[in-house]
A and B are shown apart, each in its own frame.
Chain A
Amino acid sequence: MRENRDGGDTRVSNANGTTLVSYLLGGMAFWGGIGWVADRALGFSALFLPVGLIVGFAGAVYLIYAQHVRS
């Protein structure tokens, strides 16, 4: 807990828009990127890329839930 200027306790959430957007972008960029590399390496046109994007998106949504909603 933190104290505000009057000495009372206020909890300022770190759930600002930037954090949420960076989770979503980071998730899809990282796992989508892994999927894209896997497609290139294994000779597929677009198999692992969408899987990676979905995994990244789901991971990011879970992180947002775990960090900022559940707590």
Chain B
Amino acid sequence: MSADVNVVAASEPGCHIFNDFGCGFEAPGPSLFFPEPWVDFGLAGTYGLSKYILLLAVALLIAAGFWFFTTRKAKVVPSRGQSMAEMLVEFLRGQVTRNAIGKEGDRYLPLMVALFLFIFCMNIMGLIPGLQLPVTSHLAFPAVLAIFVFVLWNVIGIRRHGVGGHFKARLVPGGVPGWILPIVVPIEALSNFVIRPATHMIRLFATMFAGHLLLALFAAAGFYMFNPTSPMGPLFGAISVGYSGIALLGFLVFTLFELFIMAVQAYVFVLLSSIYIGEALEGAH
């Protein structure tokens, strides 16, 4: 394939493989994650009302609607919807809060269930046709959730152990000789108070960002490579359809994979939140 036939910007009509319009494939980039705001308030540091805010509201409605419709007529013998809600709560209680916090974790179960479902709903916005943008692919949203968990971690630790007890437990590792403390205390401080909350938010953001970019790439490639009426002849037209089919198959496979990742990342977020809260309750190592 010579350079002059490998042409086209996927965004321009007519720009397809095996054409000769002088335009090449334009891979989707980070601009996907900066939709034009519909209403811009003109305030410094703000982004206005954009697609993200709409999707956030939709995600919130789905999460709230799930609980409303599954539990509004709760019975001892559950309906199908109520069973689903109960399974979710049971799963998170067994796998997350009881494992990471213990029986006391039941107090934090409503928070973890709400966080899990809200994050999962924000994530699946990336798969809903027409919307197709995971809310958590913008760092601001995971950041708010991770900072909330970080503040909660401190509040729980301080309420349980007092200011001194909480910060001593988080800064001074137990069983370490005094002369090593000047080396390891700054490491504990940076690790617990900066890097851990940062990685908590970045893990969710980066997986959603990368997953969405990958899906967009497959979709753009499928569109770019679909050119059955190529001016280079029917053989190249057929080859282009084959290429496009491979890209679209990849799109479907990765969409299913992405759905799995969306659930796993919501689970990992609440699991880490539970581990941090359990640690704050426990105090010193």
A interface residues with partner B (beta carbon < 8 Å): 2-5, 10, 12, 14, 16, 18-19, 21-23, 25-27, 29-31, 55-56, 59-60, 62-63, 66-67, 70-71
**Which residues of B sit under 8 angstroms from A18, Cβ to Cβ?**
196, 199-200, 203, 272
Q: Say yes or no: B279 contacts A22, CB within 8 Å.
A: no
- Which of these binds chain A: B98-106, B136-144, B250-258? B98-106
Whole-angstrom distance from the CB of A21 to the nearest CB of chain B?
Answer: 7
In the complex, whether B180 has a CB less than 8 A from a CB of chain A is yes
**Closest B residue, CB atoms, query A59:** B183
Given contacts A27-B187, A31-B183, A56-B187, contact A67 B99 (CB under 8 A): no
Q: Is B190 an interface residue (CB 8 A)?
A: yes
- Tell me whether B93 is interfacial, beta carbon within 8 Å: yes
A4 to B93, CA, bound (A): 10
B101 and A67 contacting across the interface, CB-CB below 8 Å = no
Other-chain contact of B102, A2, A19, A59, A66 (Cβ < 8 Å): A2
Contact B279 A62 (CB under 8 A): no
Decide: A19 and B191 in contact? CB cutoff 8 A: yes
Nearest Cβ distance between residue A44 and chain B, in whole angstroms?
A: 21
Residues of chain B lying within 8 A (CB to CB) of residue A27: 187, 191
Of residues 183 to 197 in B, which have CB atoms within 8 Å of A's CB atoms?
Answer: 183-184, 186-192, 194-196
Across the two chains, which residue of chain B brings its CB closest to A4?
B98
Interface residues of chain B: helix, strand, loop or mixed (majority): helix
B43 interface hit (Cβ, 8 Å): no
| B interface with A by C-beta (< 8 Å) | 93-94, 98-103, 173, 175-176, 180, 183-184, 186-192, 194-196, 199-200, 203, 272, 275, 278-279, 285
Q: Given A31-B186, A63-B188, A66-B173, output 10 extra A-B contacts at Cβ < 8 Å.
A: A3-B102, A12-B99, A26-B190, A26-B191, A26-B194, A29-B195, A30-B186, A30-B187, A55-B183, A63-B173
Min CB–CB distance A64 → chain B (angstroms): 10
Q: Let me know if A19 and B196 touch, CB within 8 A.
A: yes
Query: Can you pick out 16 interface pairs between chain A and chain B where the beta carbons lie within 8 Å of each other?
Result: A2-B102, A12-B275, A16-B272, A16-B275, A18-B272, A22-B191, A22-B192, A26-B189, A30-B187, A31-B183, A62-B176, A63-B184, A66-B173, A66-B175, A67-B173, A70-B175
B278/A59 in contact, CB under 8 A = no
Q: Which residues on A sit within 8 Å (CB–CB) of B101?
A: 2
CB atoms of A66 and B196 under 8 A apart = no
Q: How far is the CB of B276 from chain A (nearest CB, A)?
A: 9
Contact for B184 among A5, A21, A59, A70, CB less than 8 A: A59
